[in-house]
Amino acid sequence: MDPINDLFSRFGPAARTKLLLLGLPDFHSEKLMNQVRSLNLEHVSPARLARPEISRRPASAAAEEATRLAQMRRWFFARKPDAGFVLTDFPATLLQAKVFDEWLDARDESLHGVLAGSGSPGSVVAHYRTLGLLIEASDLAA
């Protein structure tokens, strides 16, 4: 079994690591998830935060986007700033990625890495690649 801190050695204290997982998991992200399961990291997904709501008509795409951002904002600002997390399925759009970056800046926090699986939104992947946060599959294979 690989030591847990191999992947996290460049991030500092592993329990404070902040990661985004975009798209569908693949072999490499499964390896990552196996490593982080034993750490004290919060695993968050917008689907988990969604509350069942009764609606007589389907919400518009704009309303769903606003609702998702509001749910994620509540979670983000309610958590302890030094607590690590693994966030899946968010951000799903470039707008969400930019809003999330603003939240991080507001709390003087930063991400440690972003892992993109298959089906990841290209604009979001390009955004995090430009910021130097994208963890390439070759980095995980080692």
Q: Which of the two residues, 107 and 2, has the higher pLDDT score?
A: 107
pLDDT range class, residue 2, cuts 50, 70, 90: very low
User: Which residues are 44's β-sheet partners?
Assistant: 87
User: Which residues are 42's β-sheet partners?
Assistant: 85
Domains of the chain, by residue range, sit at 14-50+61-141
Q: Which of the two residues, 1 and 133, has the higher pLDDT score?
A: 133
Tell me the pLDDT tens digit for each residue of 109-126: 999 889 888 788 999 999
Tell me the pLDDT tens digit for each residue of 31-78: 666 666 656 667 677 666 555 555 555 668 788 888 889 989 999 999
Instruction: Using alpha carbons only, give the angle 112, 96, 109 rounded to the nearest 5 degrees.
Output: 30
| Mean per-residue pLDDT over the chain, rounded | 76
14-50+61-141: which CATH topology? Rossmann fold (3.40.50)
